[in-house]
Each structure stands twice: as structure tokens, then as C-alpha cells.
Chains A and B, each alone.
Chain A
Amino acid sequence: MINFLLRRLFLLGTVLFGLSLLAFSLGYLFPGDPLQNFSGIRQLEPQLRAELTAAYRLDHSYLSQYLAFLNRLWHGDWGLSLASQQPLLSEIRQVLPATIELTSYALLVSFLFGVPLGILAAIKPEGYLGKIINTITVAGYSLPVFWWALLLIMVFSVGLGWFPSGGRLGVLYEIPTVSGFMLVDIFLAETPYQQVILLDALRHLALPTVVLATFPTTVMIRFVRDAMLEVWEQNYIKTAKAKGLSRLQVLYRHGLRNALLPVIRQIGLQFSALITLAMLTEVIFSWPGIGRWLLDSIYQRNFPAIQAGLMIISVLVITVNMLTEILHTFFNPLARKR
């Protein structure tokens, strides 16, 4: 087990190394002055330029430049945003939790709804329920997310008025940011209106979560159904049935564990697809997350911000992937064999 963890960490290291190389090369690939791209400072007077060139080692070989770049990353100096001239890392720290919150809720919803529906669809694959679930699933992952969001806004927000059409919290309410996660912050804040504010936050959360959760839920249903059907045909299920266990008991004790194992790994893979969907969802719902921030940076040609945003998102995706792989191995005795 330790061996496995070490190997995983080594792989993580190489992947992060490759990522940093890619990010570094973006400084040159983006149009514009490389020094501006790296530092993010708009006005570069000659003296400042000379200082920075020395600090970033731009007059030396690419290797020393890259090492200087790594050094800066390690110390938290990720440059300034070309637009706001604020340190990038602190800007990212403000917007990242919103995305993580939205994405985690969407993943949770997809798990809570996807697994039972998938099992239901697998019990009688040719029956009515199975066919209906199948149809909804295929429709679900064919939906373009931005159109689906617009449709839901038109119906529920503008038409019925049940949910707000954007933002994270109503403008009336002011919650100090402690962790960045809205629901946590509401609990931590000391205001007499906690209930009301909580309800308002949940209403703001509802539509974006539904939109974002559509794709992973349908993929999860499909996946669980396929895994369950495959496991059900196996010999050990027949043995368990012959032992005299009822169908429900066989399902619960033997079927679920074997079918859900590959699902854990799937969740990790879903995360990377989810990030891009989150970007589109944030744009439409004006959700203050890193996706919208990154897209705004792209529109503004804010290259240092793009570089930093790309790195952060990739690190996030890689970390989640690694965590789910470790979790999968932890629960799966067969994988530990390796």
C-alpha cells in the first residue's frame, strides 16, 4: 500500500512538472511582451523593466528562466492581473471556493440521484421503467448546458418566478467571507436573519446546481446501470442466490459493492468534464466563480490571469483524480494486488 502511494505521488510530481512547463511556455506563446505576460504589470518603465528582467532571468537561457518561474510560483508570486493590477493568487482565492462549492453540490446530487436510478434501470432492463430512464438519460447528456440553463431560467425564473436568475445571494444580504463557501459562511455569521439568508442562498443555488448536475447524473445513471448489469451476470451472484439469499440481500451485499467500485473512479473522471460545464454555467448565472473569472480574463486578453487560472484548474482536476484513484484502490482489494 505504501508502495502504491509513493508511486502515485511520483506520478503526481511528474504531471505537475509537465503542467508547469506548459504554463511557462504559455508566457511565450501568448501574443504580447513576455515580460508583461509573466509579471502582469501594465506600465513597464525602463528601470522597472531592467529590474524585472534580471529578477526573472529573461536575459539568460530558457532553463534558468524556467527555474526562476518555479521559484516565483513556490513563493506565491504569481504575478499581477493585467486588468486589476492585483496579485493573482489572492484574486483566485476569492473566486475559487464558489466554483468548488457549486461543483461539489452538483457531484453530490449526481451521486444521490444517479446511483439509485441506475440500479433501478438495471433491475429490469427491458421493462417500462428501464426504457423511460434510458430515454431520459440519453436526452440528458445530449443537452447543450448553456441552452438548458437558458431554458430553465425562462421557465422557472422569468416565467414562474420561483428562483432568481443569477448571483449567489440577494443584494440585500451581506455575509462576511470567512471560508468562501456560502453555506458555511452563513452558519458562521452572526446575524439574526440566518434562516432567511440561508433560504435565499439555497434558492440562488438551486437552478445552477440542477443545470450543472444534469450531465454527471445522466452519465452516472448510465454507468451504474452498465456496471450493475455486468455484475449481475457473474457466477458469484448465482452462488449467492443458490445460498438461499433473497434478491434484495444479494443486491445489497454482493452486487452493490462490486458494481460501485468502478463508479468511484468514474467520479474522478467526471470532475474534469464538470469544470468546463461549470464555466459555462457560471457565465449564464453570473456566478462569481473561477470559470467566469477565467472567461472574463480571456475576453480581456489578461494573459497572466489566463496562465494562473489554467494552472489552478489543472491542479484541481489532477488532485481530485488522484484522490479518487487512491479511494478506489483503498476499497478495492483486487487493485491492491498490484
Chain B
Amino acid sequence: MLLLDIKNLTIELETPDGLIRAVDRVSLSLKEGETRGLVGESGSGKSLIAKAIVGVLNRRWRIHADRFSWLGQDLLRLSSEQRRKIIGRDIAMIYQEPSRSLDPTAAIADQLEEAIPSELLEGSWWQRPFLRRKRAIALLHKVGIRDHKAILQSYPFQLSEGLCQKVMIAMAIAKNPKLLIADEPTTALESTTQAQLFRLLASFNQLRGMSVLLISHELESVARYTQNLSVLYCGQLVESGETSNILSQPFHPYTDALVKSVPEFQPELAPKAPLYALPGSIPTLQHLPIGCRLGPRCPNARKECVKTPMQERLQNHFYSCHFPLQYKAEK
């Protein structure tokens, strides 16, 4: 059974000048134990989708979807109470700037112990505080923090970003979630810590069967650690499928441009050769093009592109383009 089943999700924003469609008919699905990457430039709406799943968008945003269900239950129809319960139990999320996601006036121990749900502790009620503390220490060890004593007593501003992010991950896995959503977890970290973090997430996925939704704008890191990939451009789902397939044979011009812009994926690149990039830049929310939003920049664009392309499928590889690239050029 699918963990997360989203079909044609649309998120709109009310502004004084009208409704702006920030996310336009995106479909996403996640199975148990799967790692999926969600790639896109800033402004493509990936954080919005994550926030919509967890339910922290404020009232100015309107969410519609054909299907938006978690383990078969439609999230949009539930009251916020029930939704909070389900999400609190099964989904965890880690954010971009971990030090700002921690309460500055509470010690780490309090915040970590708060994240441990009471149902997971076995023992009578007077044993609870000790069990909680034991479990918190165990969680810290699992994320790779040996010196738990110092960390537990300190406040968030005393820890580095990498440590804060590890604490956030510890808080996230405390309730044994079925899904971990990582919203650009490594943007504020140094590269060595980034690698550590990804290995950590991969290990949780393999050992505990936890699904991971990894949201990022860097294709390299996402490609290495995910099985499936969804590419977003400007709120529209451009391509989705298995990572290896997408990288070896992208169908959509945007995915092609993304792959070509990363030197690591092109071993035959001659030294001092110019990197490929699409002309222009991402459109602002007030000036979204009609139809396929890549239209103005796409090298393949033609008259039909003013109509939004439907999603088509070729052997588990989904793409939305009227004129997909059929095959890579022969080397």
C-alpha cells in the first residue's frame, strides 16, 4: 500500500492582486521504505508541498487535490485535530536552518524528551522520567553524538549547525515515524557534515525501513542517496521516476539542462568547456507563463506549449512535455 498518495495537488496564494498558483497539479507517491528526492530551484514550490503534507501552512494558502491521502486516509477531509494526531504519529520533518527550529530558551534535553511519545515507553508512570532520559541518550548515540552529557545540558545557541541538525534528526526519529521529510537539510552545513548527514539518513532508511522524502536544490547529493526522483520547475512536476533512469535518459528539457549543468554527471566534459545552462531565469510569481512554465526558456518550445502538457508515462518514468527528448545524443 502506498504511504503517501498525492494526485494533482494545487496550492494557491491569495494576494491583493488575485490568486497565484504556486504549485500546479503536482502528483507524488511514496511506498514504504522508499527514498524519494524532490529537486527544483528555489521558488519551485518544493517546501510548500512539504509544508502542505505536514499541515503547517497558514490560512492564506489554499490547497486542492484530487487525492491527498496518507495510508489511505484523505488528509484534506480530516479536522485539524485528527490530522495533527496522524501526522504527529507517523511523519517527521527536519528543516533548513536547524538552530532556528529549536526553542532558544529551552535546553536540548527538554526539547528532545518532549519529542518522545509516551506510548513508546514501557514501564509504570513513576519510571517514566528515567526511561525518557535513557531513550534520549540512546537517540543521540544513534545520530552519532557520543558526548551526550554536554549536549543535553546546552542550549541551541551553543551548538554548531551540524550538531543542531543531528539533534533535529534525533527528535524526528524519536517517534519511529514511517516517513521523514528532509527540507533542504544540508544547506546551512559544511560539506563534511553534509556527507555524514546523508549517510545517516540512508542508514535509517535501510535499517528501520523509514521512507525519506529528500527535498533539495542540489542534484548531486539527491541523486546519490535516493531511489526515485521528482523534478519540479516553477510549481509544475516536470519529470519523475527512478533516479538512475532519469539521470541516464532525461525526457524533459529542464531535467536535461539540470543534468548537464552538474559537472559530476558528465565524465567526457572537456577542460575549460562552457557548462550548459538554459537562458533566462525563473519567472516571478506575478508573471507566471500560461501552459508549460518552462516555455519562454525552453530550447524546444513550440506553439503547442501554451497548453499545459498532461503527464505521460513510459515504463515507470513519468514526464510532462509535448516534445520530450527521445534519446541522448550518441557519444
Within the complex, are A and B direct neighbours (CB within 8 Å)? yes
Stretch at the interface among A135-143, A161-169, A236-244: A236-244
- Do B103 and A254 touch across chains, with their CB atoms under 8 A apart? yes
In the complex, A152 Cα to B101 Cα: how many Å?
49
Closest to B93 in A: A242
Contact flags (1/0) for B80-98 with A, using CB distance below 8 Å? 0000110111001101010
- Do B106 and A235 touch across chains, with their CB atoms under 8 A apart? no
**Contact partners of B168 in chain A: CB under 8 A:** 239
5 further A-B contacts with Cβ under 8 Å, apart from A243-B171, A245-B88, A253-B106, are: A236-B104, A240-B103, A243-B88, A334-B155, A337-B157
A85 proximal to B (CB < 8 A): no
The A contact surface, by secondary structure, is: helix
Give, as a whole number of angstroms, the nearest-CB distance from A4 to chain B. 16
**Residues 229 to 288 of chain A near chain B (Cβ within 8 Å):** 234-236, 238-246, 253-254, 257-258, 261
**Contact partners of A239 in chain B: CB under 8 A:** 95, 101-102, 168
Q: A235-B95, A238-B56, A253-B114 are in contact. Are A244 and B87 (CB under 8 A)?
A: yes
In the complex, A244 Cα to B155 Cα: how many Å?
22
Q: A243-B114, A243-B115 are in contact. Are A238 and B101 (CB under 8 A)?
A: yes
B105 proximal to A (CB < 8 A): yes
- Do A236 and B85 touch across chains, with their CB atoms under 8 A apart? no
B100 proximal to A (CB < 8 A): yes
In the complex, A258 Cα to B111 Cα: how many Å?
14
Q: What residues of chain A have their CB less than 8 Å away from a CB belonging to chain B?
A: 234-236, 238-246, 253-254, 257-258, 261, 332-334, 337
Among A242, A244, A332, A337, the residue within 8 A (CB) of B105 is A332
In the complex, A236 Cα to B99 Cα: how many Å?
9
Give, as a whole number of angstroms, the nearest-CB distance from B183 to chain A. 11
**Contact partners of B97 in chain A: CB under 8 A:** 235
**Contact partners of B54 in chain A: CB under 8 A:** 242
- 24 of the cross-chain contacts (CB-CB < 8 Å) are A236-B100, A236-B101, A236-B103, A238-B56, A240-B103, A240-B114, A242-B87, A242-B88, A242-B92, A243-B114, A244-B84, A244-B85, A244-B88, A246-B84, A253-B106, A254-B103, A254-B106, A257-B103, A257-B106, A258-B105, A332-B105, A333-B155, A334-B105, A337-B157
In the complex, A245 Cα to B171 Cα: how many Å?
13
Which residue of A235, A242, A337 has the most chain B CB atoms within 10 A of its CB atom? A242
- Do A258 and B87 touch across chains, with their CB atoms under 8 A apart? no
- Do A333 and B88 touch across chains, with their CB atoms under 8 A apart? no
**Contact partners of B155 in chain A: CB under 8 A:** 333-334
Give, as a whole number of angstroms, the nearest-CB distance from B185 to chain A. 13
In the complex, A242 Cα to B174 Cα: how many Å?
13
Closest to B181 in A: A242
Among A235, A244, A258, A261, the residue within 8 A (CB) of B101 is A235
Q: What number of B residues sit within 8 Å (CB to CB) of A?
A: 26
In the complex, A244 Cα to B85 Cα: how many Å?
6
Give, as a whole number of angstroms, the nearest-CB distance from B100 to chain A. 4
Closest to A332 in B: B105
**Contact partners of B105 in chain A: CB under 8 A:** 257-258, 261, 332-334
Give, as a whole number of angstroms, the nearest-CB distance from B287 to chain A. 28
In the complex, A13 Cα to B254 Cα: how many Å?
68
In the complex, A313 Cα to B100 Cα: how many Å?
42
Q: A235-B101, A333-B155 are in contact. Are A242 and B89 (CB under 8 A)?
A: no
**Residues 117 to 168 of chain B near chain A (Cβ within 8 Å):** 117, 155, 157, 168
Closest to B175 in A: A244
**Contact partners of B95 in chain A: CB under 8 A:** 235, 239
In the complex, A235 Cα to B175 Cα: how many Å?
20
**Contact partners of A333 in chain B: CB under 8 A:** 104-105, 155, 157
Give, as a whole number of angstroms, the nearest-CB distance from A330 to chain B. 12
Give, as a whole number of angstroms, the nearest-CB distance from B179 to chain A. 12
- Closest 9 interchain pairs by CB? A244-B88, A239-B101, A235-B100, A236-B103, A235-B101, A333-B155, A254-B103, A257-B105, A238-B56
Give, as a whole number of angstroms, the nearest-CB distance from B235 to chain A. 22
**Contact partners of B102 in chain A: CB under 8 A:** 236, 239
Give, as a whole number of angstroms, the nearest-CB distance from B110 to chain A. 8
Give, as a whole number of angstroms, the nearest-CB distance from A16 to chain B. 32
In the complex, A241 Cα to B115 Cα: how many Å?
11
In the complex, A244 Cα to B90 Cα: how many Å?
10
In the complex, A261 Cα to B88 Cα: how many Å?
29
**Contact partners of B84 in chain A: CB under 8 A:** 241, 244, 246
**Contact partners of A261 in chain B: CB under 8 A:** 105
Give, as a whole number of angstroms, the nearest-CB distance from B114 to chain A. 7
In the complex, A216 Cα to B313 Cα: how many Å?
67
In the complex, A258 Cα to B155 Cα: how many Å?
14
**Contact partners of B104 in chain A: CB under 8 A:** 236, 258, 333-334
**Contact partners of A240 in chain B: CB under 8 A:** 103, 114
In the complex, A17 Cα to B115 Cα: how many Å?
52
